[in-house]
Structures are given as C-alpha cells and as structure tokens.
Structure 1
Amino acid sequence: MRIVIAEDAAVLRHGMVQLLTDRDLEVAAAVADAGALNTAVAEHKPDLVIADIRMPPGHTDEGLRAAIALRLEHPRLGVLLFSQYIETRYTSRLLATGAAGIGYLLKERVADVDEFVEAVHRVAAGGTALDPEVVRQLMSTRQQSNGLDALSPRERQVLVLMAQGLTNSAVARSMTITQRAVEKHVAGIFAKLDLPRTDSEHRRVLAVLRYLGATPVRF
C-alpha cells in the first residue's frame, strides 16, 4: 500500500509517517498543503491519501476540497480525512464520489494506534470509516428522508453502524445480536430503500449514501 499524507502540523505529520512506516506501510510523500498534495498524488499514484481538512493557505477547507477533486480524477483513490473539525458543507460531495474508500475520523476521538491503522487498511481496501459524530452531523443537515422513514429502529441502528464501516459480524457484536439477525436487517434495509441486486452497483454503499443524503456520481 502506497500512502500520501497531507498535514500542515509538522510534528503530527512526521509522527504519522513514523507510525505508518513502523507498521510496514509505505509513505510515498508527506506534504503540508493542498497544492503539494495534488502534486504528490500525480507523482506517486498512491492507494490512499490521508488529509487534514484545514490546510494552508486559508486554513479553512482546502484539504477537503482537494480530496473531492482527487476522487473525481482518481475514482479508485482511497481518502481518509483525519481532522479535529467536522465540515459538512463539502463532505456530502466527497461521499457522492462513492462511499467506498472514504473515511473521516476525528483526531481527538481515535482511541489508539491500532484503531487508526485498521481504518487506514479498511479505507485503502475500499471500505468506509466514519466517526459516529461525523455521521450524526451529516444526518442533521439532511433535507430528504429518501425512503428512510420506512426503516424500523433496529434497521436504522444497523444502517448507522454500516455507515461507520462495520461489517455484519462487527455490527452483530456491537448490537449484541446474531450475525443472522443482522443479515435479515440488512436485507430489510435493501428492500425498503428499493435497492435491488445488480452487477454494477454495491447495495451496501448505496444504502449508506442514501442514509447520508448523498447522490452517487456515475463514472
């Protein structure tokens, strides 16, 4: 796995490089601003970008907007936002590029190194890793129900955990129910959201996008 890091805080940037290389992951570049991030991705063609949201020159949402542009140009590129801020204005646009391979973690809420590294692997492999607080704030800004009103409380709980990137077995452990029960809830979610099985679309991803109020971009 080849990784590019974009983080303007030098101590955190170098610490992240050391952490990942100690876990036998290749950090191709570690940069401090969005312009350098674009250059590094073009040069190194990474599997994953780990980016802060607020970076020079404006320290507002440069990292997030750069991530959106990179995903549109490189649809298979994994993007893990790692920030102390929640920015909902553009996050739905990032999710609209396809929830597969997207992560958004809050720095102060990552409990340990193993949790962070596991999220890195998950996002690089095409999974999702969304902090529950990020999911909550995205949902608070959602304008339409998009069929979600039909879901039972249990199905909504399963969908929240799916949005965080949990597998069926992990959802079962979190809810203290059997994996078979989770599978039934997931099937109910697909049916109520009218997401038939197809060869071209991933229903789990589409369900998460529906939940977060994002419309997937077709490539």
Structure 2
Amino acid sequence: MNQFNAIFQSIIDGDEEQTVQLCQDMLAKGCRPIDILEKGMIPAMDRLGVLLNREERFIPQVLISARAMQSAVAIIRPLLLNKAESGTARETVIVGTVQGDIHTIGKNLVGIMLQSAGFDVADLGSNVSPEEFIRQIRAHNARIVAMSAMLTTSMNSMKNTVQRLKREDFGYPLHVIVGGGPISPSFAREIGADFSATMMDTMRRAVEISTTKH
C-alpha cells in the first residue's frame, strides 16, 4: 500500500488519529501538500460518496470520515497557502438553496465537504434570492457558487438565479455548480452551470477551480 492509499483508507475508516499521523509522516518525507489532498484525501471522500449512494455507508459514518479529513487538512492548509505552486489560496465558496426551496440537508453536507477541503464557506441557508447570492458573491469576492434545489418546482428558480448571476459583471469569471434531486446534467448545461451529482463532486470541482488562475 503506497502512502496515498494509506491515507485514503484511514479516511474511509474514519480513523482521525491515523489520518493525522499519516499526513504528518508524508509531509516529513517531503510529500507535496497538494498531492496529499488531491491523491489521497479527495479520492477517499469521492469513494465515500459512492458508498453512500449504495447505502454501504450512512451519513453519520461519512461525517466521521469528514472529521478525520478536516483534521489533516488543518495541518496542510497553512502549507497550501504558502506554496505558490499549489495554486490553492484559500477562498470562499458561496453555498445556498435557491429561492422557493427550504431543503438544507444536502447543502449542509456540501458545506462540510468544502470546509474539509480547506475552503471557507459562506452558507446563505435556504430560500435564497438571486439578489442575496449576488450581494454575498461581491462581499466575499467569491469565484465559486454551489446552489441546490430539491424540488422540481424550484428548478425554474435555479435557472433564473443562474441567468441573473451571468448578467452581472463581477470582474472575474464566476463558476456556478448546481445539484439536487431533480437536477440533471442536461439541465445544468441548459442553464450554463456545472453539474454535481454528489457532495464529493462539488468538492472536487471546487478544488479544480481553485487551482486555476483568476
């Protein structure tokens, strides 16, 4: 088992102490922090998303694993921020459920995953208007927005919100990630957003965006 597989498995197992120790050992051996994140940690959470969908893992177990990852991220986060090569300067992701929808469980889990990956999260809650998304994007200079809709009746609200955001000039490219029960890849394409099937998809996409230049 290589070092990335070891930390992958310790996160799957929800072993916080072992995950932290492995992270420290890998850093001591000269492993790049960004590699630990991208080759060990994020794949583990991605795998947990698959297991959750198969009902081979449940939300309490996923949260334990997320806690293990978060403890290790706390160690590498300062190194990521100080390494120009990583390109992962800490930034804020705006998270919210669109106007007309009050569901929050999926959104809350996405927030936890994003925090585990080292992001700040501005959670706007549910029933969020397009104007509030815009206000918070500007307040945080955020490049990434993750919005959810769990009702088919709120899909039109999501479409209107994304279109409203795209009409704004923020001075930089804005990336919108959408997900939720009724949301499909084709719908995401239609409204000009990135599709996320799982909370781990959202986290992985946010990391990809954060490692690109403004």
Q: TM-score, normalised by structure 2?
A: 0.43
Greater relative contact order: 1 or 2 (C-alpha under 8 angstroms, separation 6 or more)? 2
Which is helix-richer, 1 or 2? Answer: 2
Q: TM-score, normalised by structure 1?
A: 0.42
